[in-house]
Structure 1
Amino acid sequence: MSRLLTHEELDRQLDDLPGWAVVGTQLEATFEAPDFPSAIRLVDEVALEAESMNHHPDIDIRWRAVKFVLSTHDLGGLSQLDVELAHQISQASNRIGAQARG
């Protein structure tokens, strides 16, 4: 079973996740894709990974910008699943040439 991560654990793991930030009880990042079809490909890749993990992000797409919000809702905060999915999202964004904002 997952558990909530401590602030120290989150801070340490965020060092390996450029563009990601803790906002309240959520982990958030926005990626700018080269074009709209690439943004849709990013969402599609993330959807497949999230489904395999049974851990689904909130996704907001605005033209080329795709915002991901992660949280382990049943725990009311952030777990290792969120960090792992953030890594998968970052890797997918690199593959399609999307850049983290911020």
Structure 2
Amino acid sequence: MTLTGDQIENEGLTGWANLGGSLRTRVRTGSFVAGLALVDAVGAAAEEQGHHPDVDLRYPHVDITLTSHDAGGLTERDVRLARTVTALAAGSGLELDPGAVSRLELALDTPDRAAVLPFWRALLGYQGQPGSDDEVRDPAGALPPVWFQESGSEEPRQRWHPDVWIDPTQVQPRIDAALAAGGTLVDAEQAPSFWVLADPEGNRACLCTWQDRG
């Protein structure tokens, strides 16, 4: 059974960002060797729990993503492993930085997604999502997913826009930075689910959070 955003919030996890179907964090390791040691420890714990994260080892940090692919979202398994990772990091004197992570989706506005989705799935080498007719994903999970947002057919219209999923605590700083960089806040009617912003030429993007999504 997948957990709602409110249920995840009520778990009281610290150091993790709920980015819509996945829990993510960045562990500041300070060195490649410390990062590798953490990855080894997380891998052993994941084997014990029978639930495996996506891990990206870099210098000087490690990004960790948790989701239950078989359930199509977040479950108690992810919460349990998140607590384990937090404890392992703390035991090594390492800090979790959830404000440093985000998730990027590409959205194509289309009045007929059934007509265009097969083309993009084939071109990108992506796969469809079981139980979903509006999204395609990279089988390896390395590239951003593409989802097809229903729109009108009036011209001119912006066809593509990025959806950037971030932790709710990062929304206002990100908006402030975008406005200072010459952008505009186009629409906050759906906040705190998402905000629509535009660059100086009017190209739009959305900042998204897990909030108010059921």
TM-score of the two chains, using structure 1 as the length reference:
0.90
Give the structure, 1 or 2, with the largest relative contact order (CA under 8 Å, sep 6 or more).
1
Q: Which amino acid aligns with 2:63?
A: K
Q: Which amino acid aligns with 2:56?
A: D
Q: Partners of 1:94 and 1:33 in 2: how far apart? A: 11
Q: Partners of 1:18 and 1:30 in 2: how far apart? A: 12
Please report how far the alpha carbon of residue 31 of structure 1 lies from its aligned counterpart in structure 2 after TM superposition: 0.5
Q: Partners of 2:6 and 2:33 in 1: how far apart? A: 38
SS at match of 1:11: helix
Structure with greater strand percent: 2
Residue aligning to 1:69: 65
Q: Which amino acid aligns with 1:7?
A: G
| Candidates 38, 58, 64, aligned match of 1:42 | 38
SS at match of 2:62: strand
Whether contact under 8 Å (1:31, 1:93) holds in the other structure is: yes
Please report how far the alpha carbon of residue 18 of structure 1 lies from its aligned counterpart in structure 2 after TM superposition: 1.9
Deviations 1:74-102 (A, max 9, x none): 00000000000000000010111111113
| Candidates 26, 29, 37, aligned match of 1:33 | 29
SS at match of 2:87: helix
Report matched runs for 1:1-102 at 5 Å. 3-13=1-11, 15=12, 17-101=13-97, 102=99
Whether contact under 8 Å (2:30, 2:59) holds in the other structure is: no
Which deviates more from structure 2 when the two are superposed, residues 36-45 or residues 72-81? Answer: 36-45
Q: Partners of 2:29 and 2:38 in 1: how far apart? A: 8
Whether contact under 8 Å (1:33, 1:96) holds in the other structure is: no
Whether contact under 8 Å (1:27, 1:71) holds in the other structure is: yes
Gaps of 5+ in 1: none
Whether contact under 8 Å (1:34, 1:64) holds in the other structure is: yes
TM-score of the two chains, using structure 2 as the length reference:
0.44
Q: Which amino acid aligns with 2:10?
A: R
Whether contact under 8 Å (1:34, 1:97) holds in the other structure is: no
Q: Which amino acid aligns with 1:59?
A: V
Please report how far the alpha carbon of residue 5 of structure 1 lies from its aligned counterpart in structure 2 after TM superposition: 1.0
Higher alpha-carbon Rg? 2
